Amino acid sequence: MPRPLGELEDAVMTRVWQWNRPVTVREVLEDLQQERSIAYTTVMTVMDNLHQKGWVRREAEGRAYRYTAVSTRPAYSAALMNEAWSTSDNPAAALVAFFGMMSTEQREALRAAIRIVQHDDPEDTGTAASGAAPAEPAEPEGDSAAPRPEPGR
């Protein structure tokens, strides 16, 4: 997975993902200028960097390029979560801490995602096959924004 996007890279990619069509530097520039003062050459450099890093593909159109996202925002977010989780020395504890930080809405989204994945997996004989809802992560005690310590530490 490529390294996480920088702040300006993320601002550019957000537009590319939201518009879901080939975009020009000029279009991105004009939208970014509604929030900040930024030069055409800066946006052009960022989009060229995103192309070099494999985030966007581009096709020439006259003297300019049209850029298209190579992947989706959800796939990018999933890759970031997977990278963070897989580098933990205790992945189970990292997941428990992560679940403990989730809001009620996020936990419901997690349950829905698990149901979808289990429904799509004919080999899975877990909760989806029995019709039972997946187990809910335990409610954190105290401040839900504070990470829980890893067990044994």
Q: State pLDDT tens for residues 41-78.
A: 999 999 999 999 999 999 999 999 999 999 999 999 88
Q: Confirm whether pTM is higher than 0.85.
A: no
CA distance 111 to 137: 9
Q: Is the pLDDT of residue 126 over 70?
A: no
Residue in 113, 117, 14 with CA at minimum distance from that of residue 72: 14
Question: Taking the chain, what is the end-to-end CA distance rounded to the nearest angstrom?
Answer: 30
Look at 31 and 145; give whichever has higher pLDDT.
31
- Widest distance between CA atoms in the chain: 62
Give the mean model confidence (pLDDT) for residues 122-134. Answer: 49
Structure confidence at residue 89 (pLDDT): 92
Q: Taking all residues of the chain, what is their mean pLDDT, rounded to a whole number?
A: 82
